[in-house]
């Protein structure tokens, strides 16, 4: 079975060849009402992924959804209702988190290059924890906290030494702007503990995204536990928090397999049962902050075929969406080799794959390709192309303004209803910030 079809049977349904969301709402009805291009999310898939994460982790873990994966208010509220906290990386994400109803103390702020204005904003509102990414940041947070007369809860993001790494995009284990090098950890802990305006809360390890191998995740978690123990021995107190970051992957390409959550459970249970009664971890809150794993599979980006042409023997389906709305699918969001996301004709799911085509967007650049050399049923103008696995790092990680198209809306299918959760941009939006 072609991979896109396998994903559809896993997460969605089809009726007479047309994609159906939430078991009841057909793609036809959604595009008739909201037009194309657009992003559609299925709340049942969000629920399934959340349940899978919960079941896989030991029961004493807490979960903070990583806002950067998909900052839509509806998505944030969905996870807040389940009791998640939020992980943010900017003041813009902080304000969106508050607007979704998140208590400031349930927010963690990680990421390099936090400005004074950003730190002042979050400290004044009483943020849960700030994750230190540099020595200078320690001084900056201390200075602002003193000025405001508040205590700042800080944890250290650790850039571990080279073992236990993996994933598609590494953010640790080498020279990196992220976190404090493991070798320098003790000196930074001393600096934090000596400062009256700072409370040292814990450690945060996050070295890479899109990890599909459970062995890599278990060894990263073990590394986190080992580093934590080292710091506990130094300070003489258990950590308040030990954050293992995000990074759980989903399959996008070719023969990629789903993360084996059964094996991951076995590995994590073994690790955490070893330390269950260890006084070094008494009272420590273990946590994760995933994005992609929770939302990636719930989203489909749908565009409509506007034109079909053959150039020197190669067939192109030209659609009304493209890389400006879904940069990742075009292979230009940190992907070394351009591989196709799972793509299909979402109104012809029961037709045989009879032709090889490129699916391209309307931008004036050869980079604007949603799929290269893929097999699809014979397409006609007006058909709909769906890019699956588009719920994370889709709209939010795209250069929406390039070529001045209106930004795409987002629809959440929940409890049998398709609700518009972000409207389509207007032409006025394109000039409203010009002075
Ligand atoms: C600090 C931090 N936490 C969490 C995440 C979410 O990662 P993922 O979507 O791979 O789970 C990221 C992603 O870059 C991150 O930088």
Identify the CATH number of the domain in which residue 252 sits.
3.20.20.10
Residue where the block lists tokens 């969905």: 78
Angle in degrees, 0-180, between the axes of helices 91-99 and 116-125, rounded to the nearest 10: 30
262 CA to centre of ligand 1 in angstroms: 22
In this structure, the answer to whether residues 305 and 379 fall within a common structural domain is yes
Atom nearest to 393 CA in ligand 1: 9
Q: Which residue's CA is the closest to the ligand 1 atom numbered 4?
A: 246
3-state secondary structure the chain: CCHHHHHHHHHCEEECCEEEECCCEEHHHHHHHHCCCEEEEEHHHHHHHHHHHHHHCCCCEEEEEEHHHCCCHHHHHHHHHCCCEEEECCHHHHHHHHHCCCCHHHEEECCCCCCHHHHHHHHHHCCCEEEECCHHHHHHHHHHHHHHCCCEEEEEEEECCCCCCCCCEECCCCCCCCCEEHHHHHHHHHHHHCCCCEEEEEEEECCEECECCHHHHHHHHHHHHHHHHHHHHHHCCCCCEEECCCCECCCCCCCCCCCCHHHHHHHHHHHHHHCCCCHHHCCCEEEECCCHHHHHHHEEEEEEEEEEEEECCEEEEEECCCCCCCCHHHCCCCCCCCCCCCEEECCCCCCCCCEEEEEECCCCCCCCEEEEEEEECCCCCCCEEEECCCCCCCHHHCCCCCCCCCCCCEEEEECCEEEEEECCCCCHHHCCCCC
- Please give the pLDDT value at position 174: 77
Note whether residue 56 is domain-resident.
no
In this structure, the answer to whether residues 301 and 286 fall within a common structural domain is no
89 CA to centre of ligand 1 in angstroms: 10
Residue where the block lists tokens 């004074």: 116
In this structure, the answer to whether residues 276 and 321 fall within a common structural domain is no
pLDDT in tens, 19-73: 999 989 999 999 999 999 999 999 999 999 999 999 999 999 999 999 999 999 9
CB within 8 A of 28, min separation 6: which ones? Answer: 18, 347
Residue 263 has φ and ψ, to the nearest 5°, of: -65, -35
306 CA to centre of ligand 1 in angstroms: 36
In this structure, the answer to whether residues 233 and 152 fall within a common structural domain is yes
State which residues form the domain around 397. Answer: 3-42+296-430
Atom nearest to 110 CA in ligand 1: 1
pLDDT of residue 170 exceeding 90: no
Atom nearest to 69 CA in ligand 1: 9
The confidence band for 165, taking pLDDT boundaries of 50, 70 and 90, is: low
C-beta separation of 23 from 414 below 8 A: no
Note whether residue 272 is domain-resident.
yes
In this structure, the answer to whether residues 301 and 220 fall within a common structural domain is no
How far apart CA 391 and CA 394 sit, in angstroms, is 6
Extract the tokens encoding 82: 């389940």
pLDDT of residue 369 exceeding 50: yes
The Cβ-side half-sphere exposure at 340, using a 13 Å CA radius, reads 21
pLDDT of residue 396 exceeding 90: yes
Note whether residue 76 is domain-resident.
no
In this structure, the answer to whether residues 235 and 336 fall within a common structural domain is no
86 CA to centre of ligand 1 in angstroms: 11
Q: Which residue's CA is the closest to the ligand 1 atom numbered 15?
A: 246
* Pocket perturbation via mutation, ligand 1, pick of 171, 205, 206 by most ligand atoms within 8 A of CB: 206
In this structure, the answer to whether residues 283 and 381 fall within a common structural domain is no
In this structure, the answer to whether residues 242 and 385 fall within a common structural domain is no
C-beta separation of 57 from 288 below 8 A: yes
The confidence band for 171, taking pLDDT boundaries of 50, 70 and 90, is: low
Phi-psi region of 360 (alpha: psi -120 to 50; beta: other; left: phi over 0): beta
pLDDT of residue 76 exceeding 50: yes
Question: Which of 261, 290, 319 represents a domain boundary (last residue)?
Answer: 290
* Pocket perturbation via mutation, ligand 1, pick of 86, 209, 259 by most ligand atoms within 8 A of CB: 209
Q: How far is CA 37 from the centre of its chain?
A: 21
168 CA to centre of ligand 1 in angstroms: 12
pLDDT of residue 207 exceeding 90: no
Q: Which residue's CA is the closest to the ligand 1 atom numbered 7?
A: 246
Atom nearest to 289 CA in ligand 1: 4
209 CA to centre of ligand 1 in angstroms: 6
CB within 8 A of 288, min separation 6: which ones? Answer: 53, 57, 61, 63, 64, 243, 244, 245, 246, 248
293 CA to centre of ligand 1 in angstroms: 10
What number is the average pLDDT over the span 149-161?
A: 96
Q: Give the CATH number, domain containing residue 307.
A: 2.40.37.10
What number is the average pLDDT over the span 381-407?
A: 97
How far apart CA 125 and CA 106 sit, in angstroms, is 12
Atom nearest to 296 CA in ligand 1: 9
Note whether residue 150 is domain-resident.
yes
Return the closest-CA partner of residue 372 out of 417, 315, 418. Answer: 315
Average pLDDT score, the chain:
95
pTM for the whole structure: 0.96
Atom nearest to 157 CA in ligand 1: 1
Q: Which residue's CA is the closest to the ligand 1 atom numbered 12?
A: 246
Report how far apart the first and last C-alpha atoms of the chain are (Å, whole number): 54
Burial of 122 (0-12, 13-18, 19+ CB in 10 A): buried
268 CA to centre of ligand 1 in angstroms: 20
The Cβ-side half-sphere exposure at 187, using a 13 Å CA radius, reads 8
Q: Which residue's CA is the closest to the ligand 1 atom numbered 16?
A: 111
Extract the tokens encoding 100: 């979704």
Gyration radius of the chain's alpha carbons: 23
pLDDT of residue 228 exceeding 60: yes
In this structure, the answer to whether residues 243 and 328 fall within a common structural domain is no
| Distance set, CA 402 to CA 71, 254, 364 (Å) | 20, 30, 10
Note whether residue 246 is domain-resident.
yes
How far apart CA 186 and CA 423 sit, in angstroms, is 49
* Pocket perturbation via mutation, ligand 1, pick of 50, 53, 68, 157 by most ligand atoms within 8 A of CB: 68
Note whether residue 148 is domain-resident.
yes
Note whether residue 244 is domain-resident.
yes
In this structure, the answer to whether residues 151 and 273 fall within a common structural domain is yes
pLDDT of residue 311 exceeding 80: yes
Ligand 1 pocket by Cβ (under 6 Å): 66, 68-69, 87, 110, 206, 209, 245-248, 289-293, 392
Question: Which of 290, 325, 345 represents a domain boundary (last residue)?
Answer: 290
291 CA to centre of ligand 1 in angstroms: 6
- Please give the pLDDT value at position 1: 43
Atom nearest to 248 CA in ligand 1: 11
- Please give the pLDDT value at position 173: 64
- Please give the pLDDT value at position 406: 98
247 CA to centre of ligand 1 in angstroms: 6
Question: Which of 290, 319, 345 represents a domain boundary (last residue)?
Answer: 290
Structurally, the chain folds into a number of domains equal to: 2
Q: Which residue's CA is the closest to the ligand 1 atom numbered 5?
A: 246
- Please give the pLDDT value at position 255: 82
- Please give the pLDDT value at position 332: 86
What number is the average pLDDT over the span 418-433?
A: 97
Note whether residue 101 is domain-resident.
no
C-beta separation of 59 from 69 below 8 A: no
179 CA to centre of ligand 1 in angstroms: 13
In this structure, the answer to whether residues 273 and 213 fall within a common structural domain is yes
**Which residues are bridge partners to 414 per DSSP?**
417
- Please give the pLDDT value at position 370: 97
71 CA to centre of ligand 1 in angstroms: 13
In this structure, the answer to whether residues 359 and 391 fall within a common structural domain is yes
Extract the tokens encoding 433: 């910030």
C-beta separation of 209 from 393 below 8 A: no
Ranking 137-146, 240-249, 332-341, 377-386 by mean pLDDT, the lowest is: 332-341
What number is the average pLDDT over the span 356-370?
A: 96
Atom nearest to 208 CA in ligand 1: 10
What number is the average pLDDT over the span 148-176?
A: 78
C-beta separation of 179 from 158 below 8 A: yes
């Amino acid at each position: 079975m072609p991979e896109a079809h396998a994903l559809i049977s896993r997460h969605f349904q089809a009726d007479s060849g047309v994609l159906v969301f939430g078991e009841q709402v057909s793609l036809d009805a959604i595009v008739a009402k909201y037009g194309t291009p657009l992003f559609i999310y299925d709340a049942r898939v969000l629920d399934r992924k959340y349940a899978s994460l919960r079941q896989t982790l030991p029961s004493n873990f807490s979960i903070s959804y990583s806002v950067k994966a998909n900052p839509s208010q509806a998505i944030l509220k969905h996870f807040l209702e389940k009791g998640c906290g939020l992980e943010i990386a900017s003041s813009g994400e902080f304000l969106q988190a508050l607007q979704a109803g998140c208590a400031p103390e349930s927010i963690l702020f990680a990421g390099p290059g936090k400005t004074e204005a950003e730190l002042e904003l979050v400290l004044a509102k009483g943020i849960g924890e700030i994750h230190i990414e540099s020595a200078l940041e320690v001084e900056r947070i201390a200075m602002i906290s003193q000025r405001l007369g508040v205590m700042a809860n800080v944890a250290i993001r650790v850039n571990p030494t080279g073992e236990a790494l993996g994933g598609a995009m590494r953010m640790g284990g080498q020279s990196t702007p992220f976190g404090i090098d493991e070798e320098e950890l003790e000196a930074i802990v001393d600096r934090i503990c000596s400062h009256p305006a700072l409370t040292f809360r814990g450690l945060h390890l996050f070295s890479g995204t899109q990890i599909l191998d459970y062995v890599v995740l278990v060894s990263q978690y073990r590394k986190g536990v080992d580093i934590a123990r080292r710091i506990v021995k130094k300070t003489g107190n258990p950590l308040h928090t030990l954050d293992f970051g995000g990074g759980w992957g989903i399959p996008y390409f070719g023969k990629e397999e789903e993360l084996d959550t059964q094996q991951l459970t076995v590995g994590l249970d073994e690790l955490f049962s070893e330390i269950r009664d260890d006084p070094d971890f008494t009272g420590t809150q273990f946590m994760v902050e995933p994005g992609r794993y929770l939302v990636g599979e719930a989203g489909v980006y749908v565009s409509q075929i506007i034109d079909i042409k053959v150039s020197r023997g190669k067939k192109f389906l030209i659609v009304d969406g493209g890389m400006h709305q879904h940069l990742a699918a075009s292979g230009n969001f940190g992907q070394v080799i351009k591989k196709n996301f799972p793509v299909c004709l979402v109104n012809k799911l029961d037709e045989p794959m009879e032709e090889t085509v490129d699916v391209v967007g309307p931008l004036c650049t050869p980079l604007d390709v949603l799929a290269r050399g893929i097999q699809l049923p014979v397409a006609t103008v007006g058909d709909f192309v769906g890019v699956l696995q588009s719920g994370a790092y889709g709209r939010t990680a795209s250069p929406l303004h390039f070529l001045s198209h209106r930004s795409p809306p987002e629809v959440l299918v929940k409890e049998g209803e398709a609700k518009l959760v972000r409207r389509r941009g207007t032409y006025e939006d394109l000039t409203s910030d010009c002075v």
